[in-house]
Structure 1
Amino acid sequence: MKTTTLITTCALAFTTLFSLTTIAQDFPDLDKSPMDRAAFPTSYKDANKLVKITYSRPQLKGREVSKLAPADKVWRVGANEAAEISFYKEMKLGNTVIKPGTYTFYLIPGEKEWTAIINTDINVWGSYFYNEANDVARLTIPAQQGDPIVEAFSIVFDEAKDKINMHIGWGKTRLVVPFTK
């Protein structure tokens, strides 16, 4: 009887040890540019969203926005994967109607103006595979300078009359992308 108990105990210990080592997983450190999401309406209590954008938030860390988002080049908006924007109702960017769905949101930085781009490609890393033929809408928007310096790339929404404004801030750069309902 004692031999059976000893064998059972050893078998159980071996099985437990083996299963613990086979399910062990190494997890990476926190991303240096964590993903974030901004939506309108902004209240988490309001589930009836009109628009939502998912993007990564790089930090300046003493670098210049112009080095991280070079002028006249398509920029993924943030870091890592290209930002994805979802519309839950028909909206307009400029005069272009955007149907409900998920799109990639790009920007082309300029000295005084930036170009906002809605593109049908999704699940894209960076802007390496950007295809202008898949653009749904483009709008040139003025770039402004503001204080204080925004260290982490940030996006927020607000409402103004019949518009939903997407505010983008990084460093001293401030952009407002207006969507109309």
Structure 2
Amino acid sequence: MKNIFKVLVLGVFLCLFSDANAQIKTPAASQGAKLETTVGLTTISLDYSRPSKSGRKIYGELVPFDAMWRTGANKNSMITFSDDVMIGGSQVKGGTYAIFTKPGKASWEVYFYLDTENWGTPEKWDDTKVAAKVMATPQTVSTTETFTLNIANVTNESCHLEISWDNVTVPVKIEVPTDKKVSAAISQVMAGPSAGDYYNAARYYREAKKDLSQALAWMNKSIEMGNDKFWVLRQKSLIEADMGNYKGAIATANSSLAKAKEAGNNDYIKMNMDSIAAWSKK
């Protein structure tokens, strides 16, 4: 009986010890890191793991020359662009890419790769998944103990992705479409409001019970610019009815009704028919 009791006590102790031990957290050998920054009007973010030098010779030994490298540790390092960018003369679509490199003594090959779900390098390399490949020149610098990816030399139009570890930094230029975006915005504003702008302004004025004459003028401008969808005509008919012009409202509602039938939109068919019936009694 005593032996059974001892076994039970020992079992409970082991369970408690096991549970307590399972709750102990220790630092990862290669710490995770995330960075997000704005370059011009484009957001660029990095997500990677950071191995440490720890007295080792890195390039040519731990990281062989002329062999594909995950460029960090654990899962492949990743970079995300909010807009299309230019890298090494290649246009890279906005999105997330894995960063792989092939270090060399005099130059590095830097790859931006579409498949981002790799633990290390891809088991089977696929050239069709290379969004951009850049030849970069390594620079000798003071020692960087922990592997670092950084966005440096930031201007409104470009930046450099810097890959730094040991006594080497490799810069890769990235060009962002700031001028293109700003120029497009300026052109749009200077060209005047769009059909959608006129529609939104007119609808707001009606719903806010402001100047209905102005609302109608804006709605007509939107329609003149080709925005004659059934929901736009519906809003115009409501403005006309609010102004007491029921004859005009019915005519516009009939136009909206015809387009709603063409589109197969039963909600607008019913709303227009109900309004026409009500306004016909005015």
Per the normalisation by structure 1, the TM-score is: 0.78
2:65 alignment partner in structure 1: 71
In the TM superposition, structure 1's runs of 4+ consecutive aligned residues that sit over 3 Å from their partners are: 23-28
| Shift in Å, 1:136 | 1.0
Q: Which amino acid aligns with 2:105?
A: E
**Which secondary structure does the structure 2 equivalent of 1:111 belong to?**
coil
Identity over aligned pairs, percent: 23
Q: Distance in 1 between matches of 2:124 and 2:77?
A: 12
Indicate how the Cα distance of structure 1 residues 26 and 171 shifts in structure 2: closer, same or farther if over 3 A, else same.
Answer: same
Deviation per CA, 1:4-59: give whole Å up to 9, x if none: xxxxxxxxxxxxxxxxx8x97545521010110223228xxxxx762111111000
C-alpha contact 1:39 1:156 (8 A) present in aligned 2: no
C-alpha contact 1:39 1:49 (8 A) present in aligned 2: no
Q: Distance in 1 between matches of 2:124 and 2:46?
A: 18
- 1:10-159 aligned at under 5 Å gives the runs 25-26=22-23, 28-41=25-38, 50-66=43-59, 67-129=61-123, 131-133=125-127, 134-147=129-142, 149-158=143-152, 159=154
Q: Which amino acid aligns with 2:49?
A: S
Q: Which has the larger radius of gyration?
A: 2
**Which secondary structure does the structure 1 equivalent of 2:173 belong to?**
strand
Q: Distance in 1 between matches of 2:64 and 2:94?
A: 30
Q: Distance in 1 between matches of 2:155 and 2:101?
A: 22
Q: Taking CA–CA contacts closer than 8 Å with sequence separation of 6 or more, which of the two structures ends up with the larger relative contact order?
A: 1
Per the normalisation by structure 2, the TM-score is: 0.51
Gaps in structure 2 of 5+ consecutive residues: 1-15, 177-282
C-alpha contact 1:83 1:105 (8 A) present in aligned 2: yes
Indicate how the Cα distance of structure 1 residues 130 and 75 shifts in structure 2: closer, same or farther if over 3 A, else same.
Answer: farther
1:3 alignment partner in structure 2: none
C-alpha contact 1:112 1:144 (8 A) present in aligned 2: no
Bigger strand share:
1
Q: Distance in 2 between matches of 1:164 and 1:26?
A: 43
Indicate how the Cα distance of structure 1 residues 161 and 101 shifts in structure 2: closer, same or farther if over 3 A, else same.
Answer: closer
